[in-house]
Amino acid sequence: MKDQLKIWREDRTLAYVVPFAAFMIFNLIYQFVGDAMLWEHDRAPWYRHWPDQLFYPIQTVACLGVLAFFWKHYEFQWSRNVWVGVLGGVIGIGFWLLPTALYDWLGMTGKPDFF
């Protein structure tokens, strides 16, 4: 078993595929199991009332574990073009928040008529 893990750890392709596959498998599990264990009741335990608060931390820890397993294959090099991505992210978040900010700035309250 240790020999097989060593072989997997040396494979650069697996270092990029396995973390994504683990992330997607957890999303698939949550899609089916999360709805099945949902119990909307005042006395329901937190993990039954909000199953996403159980699954997402487990997903995060599992994916971090897989990333740590393959850590030596990842190269983190900042280039001069990284600021283009940062600027794009800031602009994207700005457009995402713009409708709500305009709604508040214009003094609108309640739901619009078309809802």
- Summarised one tens digit per residue, pLDDT across range 78-102 is 788 888 999 999 999 999 999 888 8
**pTM greater than the 0.85 cutoff:** no
Report the number of distinct structural domains present in the chain.
1
φ/ψ of residue 77, rounded to 5: -125, 120
The Cα 2–Cα 11 span in angstroms is 15
The Cα 97–Cα 4 span in angstroms is 48
Q: Which domain holds residue 35?
A: 2-77
Per-residue pLDDT of 14-33, as tens digits, reads 999 999 999 999 999 998 88
Q: What six digits make up the tokens of 8?
A: 């997997």
Is residue 99 one of the residues assigned to a domain? no
The Cα 60–Cα 14 span in angstroms is 19
Per-residue pLDDT of 22-74, as tens digits, reads 999 999 999 888 888 888 888 888 888 888 888 999 999 999 999 999 998 88
Is residue 85 one of the residues assigned to a domain? no
Is residue 36 one of the residues assigned to a domain? yes
Is residue 107 one of the residues assigned to a domain? no
Contacts of 27 (CB under 8 A, 6+ apart): 59
